[in-house]
Structure 1
Amino acid sequence: MLRDPRLLVLLVAGSLTTMAGGVVAPILPEMIQQLNLDPALAGNLVSLHCLTIALFSPPLGIVADRIGHLRVLIPSLILYALFGTAGAFMHSLMPLLVVRGLLGAASGGIAAASLGILGNMYEGEARSQALGYATSTLTIMGIAFPLLGGWVGSFHWQWAFGLYGIGLPMAILAARFLPEKSSPKTKADAKDAGSKLRQVLGRPYTLRLLCTLSLVSIAMYAVVIYAPQYLKQTIDATSVVNGIVLASRAIGAAIISAFGAKRLAQRWGRPTTVAIGLGLMALTLSTIPILHQLGWILVTAVFFGMGFGLVLPTLYGTLANLAPPDLKSSVLAAGTGAGFLGQFISPILLGPVLAFCGLEWVFYAAAIVALLAGLLLFAHQQ
């Protein structure tokens, strides 16, 4: 299957949504310093695209179903390259926020269209295997993009924005290799599916799961946004070092994936697995402010990633079990939107903590958010 050029193009194109934030996070301290940005507000540069991904993915998915997935994917890839590289030429916060938001909208189109094409290309076990490859690719790119962004940005922060230009060759490859295969639904089918989807998403436990995903994402993204600033302040870390630390977070998640978070959930039970993961996240977040040696910081980042790697797939697995087979993709898409919404909220919630209490208290606050996520979810179990 991996020899199929269509799948390879889809995997790389879909991973660009991970690149949207991964490239900028390591260079954020340099941008704050050189552009004289407010640190409390500048964190939104790493998270604003998450809001527009959450807002634009569902409607662009509907558009793709009506006019064809490839007709959404190719323009989205082109706009991704244009809006992404435009950040290099912005020198104040507001224009940067605008192009970052537009980058997220384009990423939403990429996510919706690439998932639709993948679903049409394969059936049954082949589809599950392809989705497994997609998950693995996102994990690997979560390691690679911060390293790449940190290395390129070490020459100058503007250079890192040039990496978004990969959207243009990917648009060409998509036009060359990907099929346009659509199976539009009738109005009656769409109305019936919409009614069932509203019933699933309206269940109290489903809403708890979605809120938990948002809270977990708030805690996770605190590391992405504020760890580089903390490292710059405490050990004068370079962009390369910041990239290594952020990549270590993804390595921890990859370790858990290798051992099989699903098998651990089957052995311990989903509630226990989530509790252990959230506890590990809270513990490692609360220890960050007392660490001043890079080696211990890297170890902490790995264990934080392991906790996150336990929580996220377990929550998505629970969410998928609540949906009938024909609505699993839609319900999981709602979970994805909730996660991206949490990433967007992270600097809005934690920015005032940074402004009034200092950088160390940001991590304490994020640890409290992780614990609140557990309380919210397990209130249902009582």
Structure 2
Amino acid sequence: MTRPELRADLTAALAAAVVLTGVQGFAPALPLMRVQLGLSDLEISLLIVGYLLPGALCAFPIGIVADRAGLARTVSGALIVFGICGVLAYFWHDLGSLLAIRAVQGAMFGGVLALTIIATGAAGDTQRITSAQSRRVVIMTCAEGVAPLAAGIVLVNLSWNSVFLLQAVALPVAVLCCRMLPKSVPGARRRVSTAEIVRASRRAVFSFAGAAVQAPGFLRFFLKYALLTFVPLLAATTYGLDPLEIGVMLALASLAGACMAAAAPWFARGTSVGTLLGISLTLTALPIVLVPVAGPVGVLALLVVLTGAGDGLLAVVNNVVVTRLAPGDGKAAFIGLTGGIRSAGKLSAPLVAGLLAEAIPLGLTLASLGVLGLTAIAVVPTIARLLDGVDDAP
């Protein structure tokens, strides 16, 4: 790997980490916002859903822009809009203004997350992509821990709306992306029309093989967000854990995920991507199936840590799969559409799990979702065959 390639990979990972300030760096301010602005539970949820939904819907069109206008230019522009929105929210923070600002921010968030996948090692072979995606996942996992901490420090020492200024960090990162990221989408074969980009990316997604490629990513985020929403409730109501103990358990799961993501390049040296995909799906979903029979709280914590480890490995392997199988025409649009499908998993998880929890106990609800996650193993042979047909030359 050359130094410019490494700098590009690290810059892309930094860009992805920075936009996490819109969720992880925003969540600690919600209790204060509720008091200061007199918001209801529904209005608080709108601030989150109104951020994630545009991200799901706009990642595809932003990917088309990147295919046409260039990768570095598009990522930089999205980061500039994201950072400016953070500054605007500091000054205009009534509910209506915040909803509008966060909708624009969320759209940029979805675009940046998707485009930084294709910007990370995308022009290399499988080993190179695995190493690059491993670094990206580790950096983002660390950012998921640092962003709430930074927000907490700001909230303790400054006004509650000062937390929005953390998002202005995207502005200098935008300049860095303009200089360090590839000007065009890596591996793209030729400049094509918008219609051709849309057709190629849709064909790559809306087919049996395309659906097989998308299933692990959708289910990964579906399980992750269901776990983050309902495991704390289960731990508190069934096991009597306090918030600090729950936080420690989830932090250990994140740490396990980061360690597995860091080890992914080592695993990939002697194991095929298809095999790693099957292992990571099993490690992510099977512990959730076992939650109802966990018994002692230590066993519950172990299961949560194991599924966190599986999620870290799955994050890397799934990014390798979609990067290797992205069509030559409309690569960024394909990754954008992939990002939208993953975001659908984030949005649907709390709703589906909540409806199930109304009918059956919480432990059985999580186990049912784990069984659903295990069904994704059925698509692994299809994905393995598709990968076998891809030339592994850079």
TM-score (norm 2): 0.70
Partner of 1:374: 374
Bigger mean CA deviation after superposition, 47-56 or 127-136: 127-136
For 2:271 and 2:121, locate their aligned partners in 1 and report how far apart those are by CA, in whole Å.
Answer: 28
Partner of 2:386: none
* 1:333-344 map, 5 Å: 333-344=336-347
CA contact (8 A) 2:249 2:301 kept: yes
Q: What is the letter of the counterpart of residue 201 of structure 1?
A: V
State the 1:12 CA deviation: 1.6
In the alignment, structure 1 segments of 5+ residues that lack a partner are none
For 2:349 and 2:83, locate their aligned partners in 1 and report how far apart those are by CA, in whole Å.
Answer: 26
CA contact (8 A) 1:29 1:229 kept: no
Q: Percent of counterpart pairs with the same letter?
A: 22
Partner of 2:288: 281
State the 1:55 CA deviation: 1.8
Seen in structure 2, the aligned counterparts of structure 1 residues 18 and 67 have a Cα distance that, compared at 3 Å, is same
CA contact (8 A) 1:283 1:367 kept: yes
Partner of residue 225 from structure 2, selected from 216, 221, 225: 221
Seen in structure 2, the aligned counterparts of structure 1 residues 62 and 133 have a Cα distance that, compared at 3 Å, is same
Q: What is the letter of the counterpart of residue 237 of structure 1?
A: P
For 1:322 and 1:74, locate their aligned partners in 2 and report how far apart those are by CA, in whole Å.
Answer: 25
Q: What is the letter of the counterpart of residue 374 of structure 1?
A: L
Structure 2 residue 307 is the aligned partner of structure 1 residue 304: yes
Q: What is the letter of the counterpart of residue 170 of structure 1?
A: V
State the 1:29 CA deviation: 5.3
Q: Secondary structure at the match of 1:22?
A: coil
For 2:127 and 2:16, locate their aligned partners in 1 and report how far apart those are by CA, in whole Å.
Answer: 18
Q: What is the letter of the counterpart of residue 21 of structure 1?
A: V
Q: Secondary structure at the match of 2:243?
A: coil
Bigger mean CA deviation after superposition, 229-238 or 212-221: 229-238
* 1:139-178 map, 5 Å: 139-153=141-155, 158-174=161-177, 177-178=179-180
Structure 2 residue 257 is the aligned partner of structure 1 residue 250: no
CA contact (8 A) 1:49 1:344 kept: no
CA contact (8 A) 1:255 1:306 kept: yes
Seen in structure 2, the aligned counterparts of structure 1 residues 271 and 117 have a Cα distance that, compared at 3 Å, is closer
CA contact (8 A) 1:215 1:369 kept: no
CA contact (8 A) 1:274 1:314 kept: no
CA contact (8 A) 2:72 2:184 kept: no
State the 1:105 CA deviation: 0.9
State the 1:35 CA deviation: 5.6
Structure 2 residue 257 is the aligned partner of structure 1 residue 271: no
CA contact (8 A) 1:197 1:331 kept: yes
Partner of 1:74: 76
For 1:321 and 1:5, locate their aligned partners in 2 and report how far apart those are by CA, in whole Å.
Answer: 21
Partner of 1:108: 110
Q: Secondary structure at the match of 2:183?
A: coil
CA contact (8 A) 2:8 2:119 kept: no
Q: What is the letter of the counterpart of residue 54 of structure 2?
A: T
Q: Secondary structure at the match of 1:338?
A: helix
Q: Secondary structure at the match of 2:23?
A: helix
TM-score (norm 1): 0.72
For 1:250 and 1:11, locate their aligned partners in 2 and report how far apart those are by CA, in whole Å.
Answer: 17
For 1:213 and 1:164, locate their aligned partners in 2 and report how far apart those are by CA, in whole Å.
Answer: 27
Q: What is the letter of the counterpart of residue 14 of structure 2?
A: V
State the 1:148 CA deviation: 3.1
CA contact (8 A) 1:146 1:247 kept: no
Seen in structure 2, the aligned counterparts of structure 1 residues 243 and 178 have a Cα distance that, compared at 3 Å, is farther
For 2:125 and 2:272, locate their aligned partners in 1 and report how far apart those are by CA, in whole Å.
Answer: 24
Residue by residue over 1:42-79, the C-alpha shift from the partner in whole angstroms, topping out at 9 and shown as x without a partner, is: 44544543332222222122223333444433332232
State the 1:345 CA deviation: 2.3
Q: What is the letter of the counterpart of residue 371 of structure 1?
A: V
Partner of residue 60 from structure 1, selected from 55, 59, 62: 62
- The CA RMSD over aligned residues, in Å, is 4.6
Q: Secondary structure at the match of 1:181?
A: coil
State the 1:280 CA deviation: 1.7
Residue by residue over 1:310-340, the C-alpha shift from the partner in whole angstroms, topping out at 9 and shown as x without a partner, is: 4444445555665567777655544332212
Partner of residue 210 from structure 1, selected from 214, 233, 255: 214
For 1:296 and 1:28, locate their aligned partners in 2 and report how far apart those are by CA, in whole Å.
Answer: 32
State the number of aligned residues. 369
For 2:38 and 2:233, locate their aligned partners in 1 and report how far apart those are by CA, in whole Å.
Answer: 14
